[in-house]
């Protein structure tokens, strides 16, 4: 009995921070029988973040990661490191999990080398979700900077770069033509990246969580595809299998460009540099001081245009789920879902409170987190779109000192648990798989029903109205097959038999909400309790919304449409008006559920679908803004073929983010 009560509480409520620090019931029956959804709840945020781990598609839509997770790189995985010279890589340095990434970053040098390593065993790593390797000051690096600096107050305002000095404190210029080496200032635009990499590796070392050949040995992040910060290149966990000079003969008769962000900069002799701001698309695999410089392909490079497409194409292979259909994502890395840490955890009181207060103002939410809908339908649709995409705007920028102490202690503890061979404290449940199954089960059908119901029902003929009811009923029936047992009924008892509080209805609701409930709920560790609470609340919202929709359509159909010889209703009949009302009410409920869930990435796709040889394009930093060899370099103050600087990260590319296009190598990026 105690376990059953716990399951019901988790399915119907979640603990969130409120002014009174009280338990909030997220789902409460309203007058129209649909649950009221608490948009301040962290559960849909935790659920969707968990679902998207290691998926290029989802994390590109929602770049500001909030999850830190232990992970494992599979044995026999190839790792790639490109360099601009023949020296051995320093430590820490970067691997690309795809050769295309490494080649484009540092494969266009006069003396370019590609080193291929292969893991000799399963290697532990720590993963930051979102576009955590995108060098932009837009929130994508919040989680790793917080782990390094303990709380938000200590994080630098612009963590991605330190801008180049025009003059140092002694009045010396940045190194370039016309200055002797002893009379200029050497500057590495990637120094902040190397400091960050060193800091993360130092955290692992200082906490005795890993070292060469044991424990945690690297950090997995994502921009266009996935990369690995490798803490020590002398580790026996990855063995060098090939070292190739991959320099391609340059094209003759092409005037090469002078770019400030290339080899000489990293070896201590920059070209004339007049642009004070950092590049938006810098290389990353050069050594922090000397050796291994970087030069992205110029117009004299024979593979300039195709290599950028190849990098994007490599990233697209890791898209993962699209349109609620399963995909592999980055399958060479596996998440230990027992040890997930999220910045949405209720214990981070300052951060959670700040998010709730901010979103109350942004999205017209009441104190309990309920949404107040505008009266105008166009305004309502615009507000629902903002709510559905709200994760894109969220940042972990209000982590207080107490929050920070909790964060570091919990991350360390969960990483340490992941090192235990038996890990008896963990349930063994794959929570990523659980969230993926839920999205696969309901995501596409929610979109299908929303689209079917969105057409103006007032313009439908009687037969079309009947077909519309039939279509939505068919979709819902498929979802309730595992849960609902049809009751016996007569014409007089039909409405009672299919009422929300009928025994069959309540039993079906309980089965639906608890379909992934662990048998030993009380035995879950704290981290898994947080994840399961999110899963349970999401299922509670989905099942609690779809059951009234299902029952209302059963009542409508069985009373009026189940006899195939019955003529369709006239537009002036009471039945026609009643059917319109039922469909309209159900449409609004499904739309609000979709906004609460926030699976906007799964309801965005290339329409029509791409043919063989094409890829569905969304803008991915740093490949998304490059016009490599097509129409000249982009403007906005950035030259030399790098993406233009924009405030707010990649938001200037939203046209293609929310309306993706099919592309191939000859039509990349879209125009």
The answer to whether residue 364 is domain-embedded is no
Which domain covers residue 238, as residue numbers?
A: 50-171+188-253+283-335
The per-residue pLDDT for range 198-233, each reduced to its tens digit, is 999 999 999 999 999 999 999 999 999 999 999 999
Domain match, 212 and 67 both: yes
Quote the CA–CA distance of 311 and 80 in Å, as a whole number. Answer: 13
Please provide the DSSP assignment of 23-58 as one string.
-B-S-EE-TTSSEEP-TT-SHHHHHHHHHHTT-HHH
Residue 534's contacts (CB-CB under 8 Å, 6 or more residues apart) are 14, 42, 43, 44, 45, 46, 47, 50
Q: Is the pLDDT of residue 25 over 80?
A: no
Name the domain boundary from 566, 587, 603: 603
Domain match, 455 and 504 both: yes
For residue 240, name the pLDDT band (cuts at 50, 70, 90).
very high
Q: How is residue 538 written in tokens?
A: 């999401």
Beta-strand ranges (E) seen in 132-257 are 173-174, 184-185, 210-211, 214-223, 225-230, 238-245
| Nearest residue to 641 via CA among 651, 630, 649 | 630
For residue 651, name the pLDDT band (cuts at 50, 70, 90).
low
For residue 271, name the pLDDT band (cuts at 50, 70, 90).
very low
Q: Is the pLDDT of residue 318 over 80?
A: yes
The pLDDT value recorded for residue 627 is 42
The answer to whether residue 561 is domain-embedded is yes
> If you average pLDDT over residues 579-607, what whole number do you get?
96
Quote the CA–CA distance of 156 and 74 in Å, as a whole number. Answer: 35
Query: What DSSP state is assigned to residue 322?
Result: B
The answer to whether residue 218 is domain-embedded is yes
Residue predicted with more confidence, 601 or 251: 601
The pLDDT value recorded for residue 657 is 94
Q: Is the pLDDT of residue 604 over 90?
A: yes
185-216 burial code (b ≥16 CB/10 A, e <16): bbbbbbebbbebbbebbebbbebebbeeeebb
For residue 303, name the pLDDT band (cuts at 50, 70, 90).
confident
Q: Is the pLDDT of residue 273 over 70?
A: no
The pLDDT value recorded for residue 459 is 61
CA angle 288, 333, 530 (to 5 degrees): 105
Domain match, 214 and 79 both: yes
The pLDDT value recorded for residue 566 is 86
Phi first, then psi, for residue 342 (nearest 5°) are -130, 145
The answer to whether residue 79 is domain-embedded is yes
Domain match, 94 and 234 both: yes
The pLDDT value recorded for residue 632 is 32
> If you average pLDDT over residues 545-572, what whole number do you get?
92
For residue 157, name the pLDDT band (cuts at 50, 70, 90).
confident
Domain match, 331 and 464 both: no
The answer to whether residue 461 is domain-embedded is yes
Burial environment of residue 28 by CB neighbours within 10 A (0 to 12, 13 to 18, 19 or more): middle
Domain match, 209 and 105 both: yes
Q: Is the pLDDT of residue 181 over 50?
A: yes
Name the domain boundary from 301, 335, 369: 335
Q: 167-171, 224-228, 581-585: which range is least confident on average?
A: 167-171
Domain match, 6 and 90 both: no
Domain match, 96 and 224 both: yes
The answer to whether residue 260 is domain-embedded is no
Residue 131's contacts (CB-CB under 8 Å, 6 or more residues apart) are 59, 60, 63, 65, 140, 222, 223, 620, 621
Q: Is the pLDDT of residue 168 over 60?
A: no
The pLDDT value recorded for residue 184 is 66
Domain match, 25 and 118 both: no
Query: What DSSP state is assigned to residue 665?
Result: G
Name the domain boundary from 603, 618, 641: 603
Q: Is the pLDDT of residue 38 over 70?
A: yes
Computed from CA positions of residues 504, 507, 513, 517, in that sequence, does the dihedral angle turn out positive or negative?
A: negative
**Contact, 65 vs 75, CB < 8 A?**
no
The per-residue pLDDT for range 388-441, each reduced to its tens digit, is 999 999 999 999 999 999 999 999 999 999 998 666 779 999 999 999 999 999
> If you average pLDDT over residues 329-335, what whole number do you get?
98
Q: 90-99, 598-607, 631-640: which range is least confident on average?
A: 631-640
| Nearest residue to 248 via CA among 104, 86, 112 | 112
Output the average pLDDT for the chain: 84
Domain match, 31 and 125 both: no
For residue 281, name the pLDDT band (cuts at 50, 70, 90).
very low
For residue 561, the number of C-alpha atoms closer than 13 Å in the C-beta half-sphere is: 22
The pLDDT value recorded for residue 294 is 53
The pLDDT value recorded for residue 228 is 99
Q: Is the pLDDT of residue 43 over 70?
A: yes
The answer to whether residue 657 is domain-embedded is no
HEC sequence for 490-540 = CCCCHHHHCCCCCHHHHHHHHHHHCCCCCCCHHHCCHHHHHHHHHHHHHHH
The pLDDT value recorded for residue 259 is 46
The pLDDT value recorded for residue 19 is 34
Q: Is the pLDDT of residue 551 over 60?
A: yes
Q: 30-34, 39-43, 91-95, 101-105: which range is least confident on average?
A: 30-34
Domain match, 449 and 313 both: no
In terms of average pLDDT, the best of 29-33, 217-221, 248-252, 565-569 is: 217-221
Domain match, 209 and 91 both: yes
Q: Is the pLDDT of residue 647 over 50?
A: no
> If you average pLDDT over residues 630-643, what whole number do you get?
30
For residue 172, name the pLDDT band (cuts at 50, 70, 90).
low
The number of domains in the chain is 2
The answer to whether residue 541 is domain-embedded is yes
């Amino acid at each position: 009995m105690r376990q059953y009560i716990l399951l019901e509480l988790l399915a119907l409520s979640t603990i969130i921070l409120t002014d009174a620090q009280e338990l909030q019931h997220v789902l409460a029956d309203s007058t129209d029988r649909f649950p009221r959804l608490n948009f301040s709840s962290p559960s849909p945020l935790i659920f969707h973040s968990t679902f998207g781990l290691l998926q290029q598609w989802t994390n590109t839509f929602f770049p500001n990661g909030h999850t830190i997770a232990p992970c494992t790189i599979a044995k026999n995985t190839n790792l790639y490191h490109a360099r601009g010279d023949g020296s051995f890589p320093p430590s820490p340095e970067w691997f690309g999990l795809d050769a295309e990434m490494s080649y484009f970053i540092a494969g266009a040098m006069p003396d370019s080398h590609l080193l291929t390593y292969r893991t000799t065993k399963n290697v532990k790593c720590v993963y930051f979700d979102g576009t955590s390797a995108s060098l932009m000051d837009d929130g994508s690096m919040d989680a790793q900077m917080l782990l390094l600096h303990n709380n938000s107050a200590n994080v630098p305002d612009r963590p991605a770069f330190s801008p180049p000095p025009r003059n140092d404190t002694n009045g010396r210029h940045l190194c370039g033509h016309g200055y002797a080496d002893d009379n200029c200032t050497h500057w590495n635009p990637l120094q902040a990246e190397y400091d960050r990499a060193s800091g993360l590796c130092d955290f692992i070392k200082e906490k005795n969580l890993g070292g060469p050949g044991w424990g945690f040995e690297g950090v997995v992040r994502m921009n266009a595809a996935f990369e690995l910060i490798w803490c020590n290149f002398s580790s026996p966990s990855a063995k060098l299998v090939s070292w190739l000079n991959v320099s391609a003969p340059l094209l003759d008769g092409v005037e090469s460009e002078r770019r400030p962000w290339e080899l000489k900069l990293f070896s201590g002799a920059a070209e004339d540099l007049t642009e004070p701001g950092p590049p938006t698309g810098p290389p990353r695999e050069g050594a922090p001081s000397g050796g291994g410089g970087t030069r992205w392909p110029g117009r004299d490079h024979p593979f300039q245009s195709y290599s950028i497409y190849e990098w994007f194409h490599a990233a697209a292979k890791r898209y993962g789920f699209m349109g609620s259909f399963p995909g592999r994502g980055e399958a060479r890395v596996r998440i230990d879902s027992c040890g997930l840490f999220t910045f949405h955890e209720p214990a981070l009181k300052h951060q959670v409170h700040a998010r709730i207060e901010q979103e109350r103002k942004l999205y017209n939410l009441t104190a309990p987190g309920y949404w107040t809908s505008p009266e105008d339908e166009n305004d309502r649709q615009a507000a629902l779109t903002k709510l559905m995409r709200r994760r894109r705007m969220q940042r972990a920028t209000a982590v207080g000192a107490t929050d920070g102490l909790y964060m570091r202690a919990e991350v360390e503890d969960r990483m340490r648990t992941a090192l235990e061979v038996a890990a008896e404290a963990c349930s063994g449940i794959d929570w990523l798989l659980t969230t993926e199954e839920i999205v696969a089960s309901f995501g596409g059908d929610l979109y299908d029903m929303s689209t079917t119901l969105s057409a103006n029902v007032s313009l439908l003929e009687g037969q079309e109205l009947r077909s519309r009811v039939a279509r939505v009923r068919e979709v819902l029936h498929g979802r309730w097959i595992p849960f609902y047992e049809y009751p016996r009924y007569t014409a007089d008892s039909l409405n009672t038999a299919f009422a929300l509080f009928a025994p069959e209805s309540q039993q079906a609701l309980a089965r639906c909400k608890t379909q992934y409930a662990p048998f030993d709920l009380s035995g879950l560790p704290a981290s898994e309790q947080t994840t399961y609470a999110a899963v349970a609340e999401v299922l509670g919202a989905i099942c609690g919304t779809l059951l009234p929709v299902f029952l209302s359509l059963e009542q409508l159909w069985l009373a009026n449409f189940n006899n195939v010889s019955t003529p369709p209703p006239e537009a002036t009949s009471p039945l026609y008006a009643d059917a319109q009302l039922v469909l309209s009410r159900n449409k609004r409920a499904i739309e609000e559920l979709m906004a609460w869930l926030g699976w906007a990435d799964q309801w965005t796709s290339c329409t029509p679908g791409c043919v063989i040889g094409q890829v569905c394009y969304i803008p991915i930093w740093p490949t998304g803004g490059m016009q490599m060899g097509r129409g000249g370099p982009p403007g906005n103050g950035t030259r030399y073929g790098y993406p233009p600087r924009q405030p707010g990260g990649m938001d200037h590319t939203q046209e293609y983010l929310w309306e993706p296009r099919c592309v191939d190598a000859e039509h990349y990026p879209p125009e």
